[in-house]
Structure 1
Amino acid sequence: MTQDKSLINSADKSNIGSQPEVMGILNVTPDSFSDGGKFASFDKALAQVAQMISDGADIIDIGGESTRPGAVDVSEADELTRVIPLLKAIKANFTIKVSIDTSKAEVMAQAIAHGADIINDVRALQNEGCLAVLAQSNVPVCLMHMQGLPRSMQENPHYDEVIGDIKQFFIERINVCEQAGIKRERLILDPGFGFGKTLEQNYQLLAQLHQFSDLGLPLLSGTSRKSMIGNLLARKVDERLAGSLTTAIIAAQKNVSIIRVHDVKETVDALKVLAMTVKYQ
């Protein structure tokens, strides 16, 4: 099923002075690292969507499978049961862009059929059938870099040169997507903070996000409440707001297009202050 979806603000969003879109995280899983089980019930999940929209979210990102370090796989049937009814309800009750965080071709296909605006894939369409599903649609897709798999990705991450290696991965995946019939302008890139990176590598990546700008595609940054903040500051998951906001501001200053967060209201406020300041530089 082909849908006419435009890319999230297009690659032009990388221009200096533009304000990133805020993507609110909605984990409908029992084992998410930050809010596992909190929004697993349908009613609570829908209420959280309403709250995030009220708080200023531009996009809602629904995840039906945890990708935290050590996470176990979820069956296709379970993921569909968690994600698709909620997607349908959001589309029926709200006017908001919805992203589906999945690496399964069938989940992607059904999500697109029910109106998903973005596919957000931590495996960058490397799983069987995913390229073909996206090639048959016009929905934008976010390609994330991950070294290894969730179960083992943090055991011993190694790079010859972290920025160069991730950039090469993106170049290869962009080429594969284009060869499969997915137009370049539909792609969004996520360097994958915390997905097979050490503490130092994560902060090098944050500091040097601008080095991906020559790829000419929008960037998504997702650092919210992650261990790169907790380990640096010795803070529990529910004590990482200050660190999350700081990384969001840094990412915005590096001209990312989308910032993926748990704390929508606070992030929107922080970005408004930054935007007002940038206005007078």
Structure 2
Amino acid sequence: MLSLPPLDSPVRRIGTRSFDFSREVAVMGIVNRTPDSFYDQGRTFGLEAAVRAALAAVAAGADIVDIGGVPFAPGDPLPAQEEAERVVPVIEAVRAASDVVISVDTFHAEVARRSIAAGADIINDTTGLSDPDMVGVVGDSAASLIVTHSLATPRTQYPRPHYDDVVVEVVEFLRDRVERAVAGGLTAERIIIDPGPDLNKNTLHTLEIVRRFDEIAALGLPVLAALSNKDFIGETLDAPKPERLEGSLAAAVASVLQGARIVRVHEVAPTVAAVRMAEAILGIREPAYLKHNMGEFNE
């Protein structure tokens, strides 16, 4: 029988929304205001395009929009001032138009501070708290923090990553970073964890993480599954980036059935449908309606 690993604090107030992660899975839509994002290749770099994409994600059913100004991939560093100039206007415009939960993908504490002031509800740090000021900035606000497993210094190469047991090591890393965040004054009720699929990991590592996602969820905190269109899907299916939707949906559902409470995706509408179906299979969502074989006549 399928069952979700229990959460220490399943009910979370994030922004204006209340989530009961024992009864629901949130869908996070991705908006990259970067000219060099790995998937959309700059299509939403312009301010108006980024705002339109965020609001389209909301209309498609996203519970959260995740706005980023710098890709994770290795490359030249972007000053925090310039990164903030990319994301803050998007946050302000989306906040003015919607009460959707806004997440900002940044590892700079200063960008986090300015983003929260503009209306962001979550800081999504994909570098495992590389900035020592990050916990303090988030702790001084009402925002939540996503703590992600990654090993490299931000925007640098990490060739041939090796793990004796990738899941055990990811769990140990996340436990350590969560303890640091709590010691720094951030309550566990405001922390979300992310095992970092593909981040300093090869395809076999990421497949193992998806296969054993329940071991990560057993930490008792809501887990984000950020799998959408990543290279492990492309390498597994021999699929270029525009042809990874089916693999992304399969990976998302596999993670949800093992305890993922948030899925971060590029294609919102099909993911919402897949996640809602997975919730029903888990028994945490009722069907939209019941008609088939429910009356005197079969229909």
**TM exceeding 0.5:** yes
Which ranges in structure 1 are unaligned for 5 or more consecutive residues? Answer: none
In structure 2, the residue matched to 1:42 is 47
Shift of 1:45: 1.1
Distance 2:189 2:128 in 1: 15
What is the rounded CA distance, in whole Å, between the counterparts of 1:61 and 1:265 in structure 2? 16
Is the contact between residue 126 and residue 149 of structure 2 (CA under 8 Å) also seen in structure 1?
Answer: yes
Instruction: Say whether residues 1:25 and 2:54 are aligned partners.
Output: no
Matches within 5 A, 1:176-195: 176-195=180-199
- On the 8 A contact 1:6/1:139 being kept in 2, the answer is no
| Structure 1 residue 123: Cα displacement | 1.4
Partner of 2:125: 121
Shift of residue 137, structure 1, vs aligned partner = 1.6
Q: Note if contact 1:157-1:196 (Cα within 8 Å) is conserved in structure 2.
A: yes
- Structure 1 or 2: more helix by fraction: 1
| Counterpart for residue 7 of structure 2 | none
State the structure with bigger RCO (CA 8 A, min sep 6), 1 or 2.
Answer: 1
Correspondence for 1:109: 113
The reply to whether residue 57 of structure 1 matches residue 71 of structure 2 is no
Counterpart-to-counterpart distance in 2, 1:228 and 1:132: 34
Which residue of 266, 275, 280 maps to 2:279? 275
SS at the partner of 1:192?
coil
Q: How many residues align?
A: 270
What is the 5 A alignment of 1:126-137? Answer: 126-137=130-141
Task: State the secondary structure of the residue aligned to 1:258.
Answer: strand
- Pairwise CA distance, 1:159: 1.3
CA distance in 2, matches of 1:138, 1:71: 32
SS in 2 for 1:33: coil
Please tell me whether residue 144 in structure 1 is matched to residue 151 in structure 2. Answer: no
Moved more, 119-128 or 179-188: 119-128
CA contact (8 A) 1:140 1:188 kept: yes
State whether residues 119 and 142 of structure 1, in contact with CA within 8 Å, keep that contact through their aligned partners in structure 2.
yes
Rounded Cα–Cα distance in structure 2 between residues aligned with 1:134 and 1:49 = 23
Q: Say whether 1:174 aligns with 2:174.
A: no
Indicate the SS of the match to 1:6: strand
* Contact 1:19–1:252, Cα closer than 8 Å, also in 2: no
5+ residue gaps in structure 2? 1-11, 287-299
Could you list the per-position Cα deviations for residues 101-137 of structure 1 after superposition, in whole angstroms to 9, with x for gaps in the alignment? 0000110111111211100001132213212212212
What is the deviation of 1:9? Answer: 5.5
Other-structure match for 1:80: 84
Contact 1:6 1:140 survives alignment (8 Å) = no
Over the matched positions of the two proteins, sequence identity in percent amounts to: 32
SS at match of 2:218: helix
Give the secondary-structure state (helix, strand or coil) at the position aligned to 1:23: strand
2:228 is equivalent to residue 221 of structure 1:
no
CA distance in 2, matches of 1:225, 1:164: 25
> d(CA) in 1 for partners of 2:282 and 2:133?
43
**What residue in structure 1 maps to residue 294 of structure 2?**
none
**Structure 1 161/48 Cα, relative in aligned 2: closer, same or farther at 3 Å?**
same
Q: Which residue identity lines up with residue 230 of structure 2 in the other structure?
A: K
CA drift of 1:37 comes to 1.1
User: Which residue does 2:94 correspond to in 1?
Assistant: 90
Deviation at 1:151, TM superposition (A): 2.7
Q: Which runs of 4+ in 1 moved over 3 A?
A: 7-10, 276-280
Distance 1:66 1:211 in 2: 28
Of 242, 249, 253 in structure 2, the residue corresponding to residue 245 of structure 1 is 249
Change (3 A) 1:9 1:212: farther
1:54 Cα deviation after fit:
1.2
Deviation of 1:50 after TM superposition, in Å, equals: 1.9
State how far apart, in whole Å, the 2-side matches of 1:254 and 1:61 are.
Answer: 23
Q: Out of 146, 161, 164, which is 1:160 matched to?
A: 164
SS of the counterpart of 1:143? strand
- Decide whether the 8 Å contact of 1:19 with 1:271 is kept in 2: no
The aligned counterpart of 1:6 is 13
Amino acid at match of 2:46: S
